[in-house]
Amino acid sequence: MHDDKVVDLTTAIRTHVQPGSSIALEGFSHLIPFAAGHEIIRQGITDLELCRMTPDLLSDMLVAAGAVSSMVCSFFASGSAGSLYELRRRIEHHDPAPLPVSEYSHHAMVLRYHAGAAGLPFVPIRSFTGSDIPKINPEIRSVPDPYSGGRAYVVPPLNPDVTIIHAQRADRRGNAQIWGITGAQQEAAYAGRKTIVTVEEVVDDEVIRADPNRTLIPAHAVDAVCEVPTGAHPSYVQGSYDRDNAFYREWTPISKDPEALHAWLDRYVRGTGDHAEYLAAIGAERLAGLRMAPRPSGSVDYGRRMTAAPSKRKDA
C-alpha cells in the first residue's frame, strides 16, 4: 500500500523527534502517550520544549530524564494522587537547574493549538480578564478590540515540531479513531508540523469506514502510525483498560526521592528495550487487573443509496 504509514515506535521517534524540537504530547485524562514519552527517554533525546495540557507523571519523567529544557503548559497535576516532585524541584528550587515554563490556562492552550492549526496570527480569549496569568506570561497580550473599542487578551499560535497522541485504533493510512474523553488531540495534530499516532490496534479500512464519525484525526494530518498495545499505561484507554491508580499513588514517594526516581527510570524505561519489555517489567498480573469488561455503545444506521429501479421506456 503506497500510503501505508505504519512503523514501529522506535523508528517513528528516531525519524521525527530531534534534539531541540518542540513536542506536544496530548491526551486529556486518558490516552496519554506514555509509551512514546518513554521511547524519547530511551533514545536519549534532549533539549526538548514540551507542550502539554496538564503536565503530569509523564512530564515528571521526561524532565527527570533530562529530555526537556523548557515547557509550554497549563495546570500541573498528577491525577489527584499527589505531587510532581521533580517538576517542583526544578521550578520552585532550580534543583538541579531552572526549568523555564510558559504557563497558560487549558482554554488558552486549546486556542493556541487551534490558531496554529488554522494558520492564524493570534486568537482572542476573554477568560484572562481579572486573571494574574498575563502578569507572568508576556506572550499573553492585551490589544484594542476593533468592534467595542475596549481591549481583549490574545494568545499566539502554537505549532509544535512534532505532535504525538495515543488513540484506540487507526487504519494503516493514519485515520485515527478516539472515543471517550477527548482533549486537544485534534487541534494539536493539525497544528503539529509532524504528527505521530500510537494506537492500541491497527485495523482494516472497513472498520474505520463503518463508523466514520469517530475518526478524530484523519490520515492527511498523520505522518506515522505505531501499533503499541497498552501504550497509555499508567493512564487509561476507554474500552480497553482502566487507569492504574495504584501507580499514580506510588509515583509521589518515587518522585519525591531523586535517587528512587532515577532508579525507577533505569529499571523500567532505560533498562527496557521497548514498550513490550516495559509492560513485562510492570507485570502481567498487574496489567490484567486493569482490563475492562465489554460495554458496546449503541449502533447507528448511516444508510446507503438505494439502487434505482430501471426505468421503463414507453414507445410513442
- Predicted confidence at residue 81, as pLDDT, reads 79
Report whether 153 contacts 111 (CB < 8 A): no
Q: What is the pLDDT of residue 309?
A: 62
Residue-wise pLDDT tens digits, 6-61: 999 999 999 999 999 999 999 998 999 999 999 999 999 999 999 999 999 999 99
What is the grid cell recorded at 253?
A: 514517594
Phi, psi of 139, rounded to the nearest 5 degrees: -75, -15
Q: How far does CA 178 lie from the centroid of its chain?
A: 12
Here the cell at position 102 is 510558559
Instruction: From 174, 254, 181, select the one nearest 217 (Cα to Cα).
Output: 174
Residue 250 in this model has a pLDDT that exceeds 80:
yes
The confidence score (pLDDT) of residue 286 equals: 97
pLDDT at 313 over 80: no
Q: How confident is the model at residue 312 (pLDDT cuts 50, 70, 90)?
A: low
Closest CA to 184 of 154, 156, 160, 213: 160
The helix/strand/coil state of 93 is helix
What pLDDT is stored for residue 79 in this prediction? 72
Q: What percent of the chain has pLDDT over 70?
A: 97
Largest Cα–Cα distance in the chain? 96
The set of residues, in sequence order, having a beta carbon less than 8 Å from that of 114 and lying 6+ positions away, is 120, 123, 187, 191
